[in-house]
Amino acid sequence: MQPRRRVPAARWLVVTATVLVAGCTPHSVTEQGQAIYNLYNLFMYIAAVVFVLVSGLVIWSVVRYRRRDEELPTQTHGNNRLELAWTVIPTVIVLVLFVFTIRAQDKVLDQSGQADVNLTVTAFQWSWRFTYEGTGAEVVGGPGTVPEMVVPVGARIRVKLLSADVVHSFYVPQTLFKRQAIPGTVNQFDLTFDKVGLYHGQCTQFCGLQHTDMVYRVRVVTQGEYQSWLAGASRRGSAGRPGT
C-alpha cells in the first residue's frame, strides 16, 4: 500500500514543479543576459520548492484537521522553537539569494571591457534614433517606420541611452534587459550579442498617446555584414532610413 500511495504523490510533485518551471524566461541572446537567465532559474527552483511546501502544508492542514466532532482542539498559543526556525530559515534563504543577485548584477552591469561599437540611442515620442558614434551612420524611426538597430555579433556594444522628451524604456525581451531613458540623464550599459538574428524591441515605460507603436528591431549580423552595412549607412548620412 505504501509504495502505491507514494507514486501519485511524487508524480504530483513532478507535475507541479514542471508547470512552475515552465514559467521560464526565454534564453538570452546576450552574454550579460545569460547571467540573468541563470539567476532566474536559481530563484525559480527555490520558489518552486517553497510554493510546493507551503501550499502543501495549507492543503494538508485543511484535509487532515477538518472538524469531525465537537471536541475542542488543544488550545496551543505558539511554539518558540518553530517560530524561530521559520524566521531564521527564510532569512538565510534571502541572504543566499542576495549574494547570487549581487554576483549576477556585477556581470550584467560590467562596463570594464573596451567597447567595440559606441551607439547612442535616443528615445522620443514615439520612436527611436540610433546614432553610431564616429561613423556618421544614423537610423531614425517615425510614424509607419520601424527603425532597425544593426549590430555585429560578438562585439561589445556600449549603449548611451538618452531621451528627448518624457521617460521611455529600452527593452529587447531576448536580452532580458531594460533601462529607462530619462530626459536630462545619460544612462550607459553594454550588450554583447552572441547569436545572429532579428529581435523585437519595444518601449516599456508608458510614454503617452502612441506608446504602443514605439517598437524597433535589433538585427544582429556577422562582423563582415556589419562593416558593409555601416559603410552604406555612413554614405547615406543621417538621411538614411533603412527601417521598414
Look up cell 556600449; give the residue.
158
Binding segment (CB under 8 A) for other proteins, from list 5-13, 63-71, 130-138, 226-234: 63-71
CA angle, 137 then 140 then 142, to 5°: 165
* Residue 197 interacts with other proteins (CB under 8 A): yes or no: no
User: Would you say 151 or 203 has its CB closer to other proteins?
Assistant: 203
DSSP states of 123-189: EETTEEEEEETTTTEEEE-BTTB--EEEEETTSEEEEEEEESSS-EEEEEGGGTEEEEE-TT--EEE
Binding segment (CB under 8 A) for other proteins, from list 10-18, 19-27, 111-119, 231-239: 19-27
Closest approach of other proteins to the CB of residue 232, in Å: 28
**Contact, 75 vs 152, CB < 8 A?**
no
Q: Applying CB under 8 A, which of residues 2, 7, 8, 67 lies at the interface with other proteins? A: 67
Residue 158 corresponds to which cell in the numbers above? Answer: 556600449
Between residue 136 and residue 175, which ones bind other proteins under the rule CB under 8 A?
Answer: 165-167, 169, 171, 173-174
The CA distance from 74 to 83, in Å, is 18
Closest approach of other proteins to the CB of residue 200, in Å: 7
Query: By rule CB under 8 A, what count of residues binds other proteins?
Result: 81
DSSP 33: H
Binding segment (CB under 8 A) for other proteins, from list 75-83, 136-144, 221-229, 231-239: 75-83
Binding segment (CB under 8 A) for other proteins, from list 1-9, 50-58, 131-139, 218-226: 50-58
